[in-house]
Structure 1
């Protein structure tokens, strides 16, 4: 997201990590900007806050939670090494735990973009279910009407895509949406929106949706890979 805030995703949901050395007002300004710019991705999200060594008091935590709530984001848990931050979280009813231990990369290793982290799932996403991930999503299964996939990167559905998909939801206009059967209620890529026209009774073929000349186009996989 930025040099001060990063968003990670996985099977256990989204994790928002804050630079624990940055000035607190600067962090809030950066967060406001990112939530506003990426509203389609964050609205309705539930996440874990990771604060590192930052010692956060109840007033600062309230500022953070109010800002998130204003943008439709719910903080389910807080991870921090500072006891004061964990106590502040528990005081407002948020689950708090020490920060997980991550393996630090060797010095000089370039950081990976969120899109480089892919999520693979084998399941059916049913009506009312929302799957949100900061990188690519590959779903081996169907996306039913009323189900939603929201990804910072591309979305691949090895099955029938009949729900709502938003790829490139963090602003990546190079993202694509692929499916064995592409019959969505709505497609979005970055800030572009499209619905597919009714199809005939003929057989479905694998298709790819992408942005071309500021609009979403859909073509067969055979044509796309040429």
Structure 2
């Protein structure tokens, strides 16, 4: 008989999400999840985790959950962000929604170093594979990721950032003060995005849809704007 406890795997058409009792401590959640997967891990193997419903977890806690599910039991983790049960049909074009919803800009203290001060900016660092929760890349030039940036992962570069996949984590381009830096990805739904001294956080109810057209984030008119790359 399957164990009963504070964590359940619930199914949707595009994968499974974790239904977690908010009143239970993180340690107990992890202990139960380990026991559940030890008993029924083979049943869930080959599945894909697309989110969490219930509970509020830090990046480190999400990294621990992902390591347990993925590394120990071989279950793919696509996202550990809050899972929304209801999906609304957009009433406006996706591009219009992005330009209006994506982020309220909050200038932060500008670093004293400028992009011109760093002679290594011409260098480009390539990352092959998906960056999972808890992983980070910091580089004094441009960064190209051949894969996704999952929730809980981060990429920080003094130059441009190109993601040949989805951005679901933290991203910061032009970190040394370059307002001309850009971020390009197949899908931009970050937990937070920064360009130079500008910071933006997408709304929690963002339900924009993935298309085959890459997206580009730039600083324009004192704010971060995201638009399709035509």
TM-score, length-scaled by structure 2: 0.47
Larger RCO: Structure 1 or Structure 2 (Cα < 8 Å, ≥ 6 residues apart)?
2
